[in-house]
Amino acid sequence: MEESMMSFESLLYGGTFTLLPVVLLASRFFWRRPPWWVIILLIIILGWATYFLGVVKHAEELYELVESTENPSQELLEEAYLDSGPLVFAAFMGWVVALAYAVPWYILFLMATWIRSVIRRQRRGER
């Protein structure tokens, strides 16, 4: 059984991709900054970049695994050398993945702002 270890770069790209919408929407919720156009632009650009770099890093790790294995399996060889589909998809559609990942966080943001507005209305009504 092969043990797989993720590199620091893979964790950095995955962590940045995962936390980017959370951090941007949390800053919008608490401080009303940055503007919406900046949030969307950063999610598209940085989300695409981290997604693409993560896929590239994964491909590099597969190549290294093939090179370091004495008798690599046919499945590993095919995954490492024959299929460039994930790289092409990440290059052209990674921004869509980043936006799609941000949608559930945006829904949570809307729910939180709605709850905050309900609480504020109730406090105003009590006075």
Whole-angstrom Cα Rg for the chain = 21
Q: What are the residues whose beta carbons fall under 8 Å from the beta carbon of 50, sequence distance 6 or more?
A: 13, 14, 16, 17, 20, 98
Report domain extents, the chain: 8-122
Largest Cα separation within the chain, whole Å, is 76
Say what the pTM is: 0.87
pLDDT tens digits along 65-115: 999 999 999 888 888 887 789 999 999 999 999 999 999 999 999 999 999
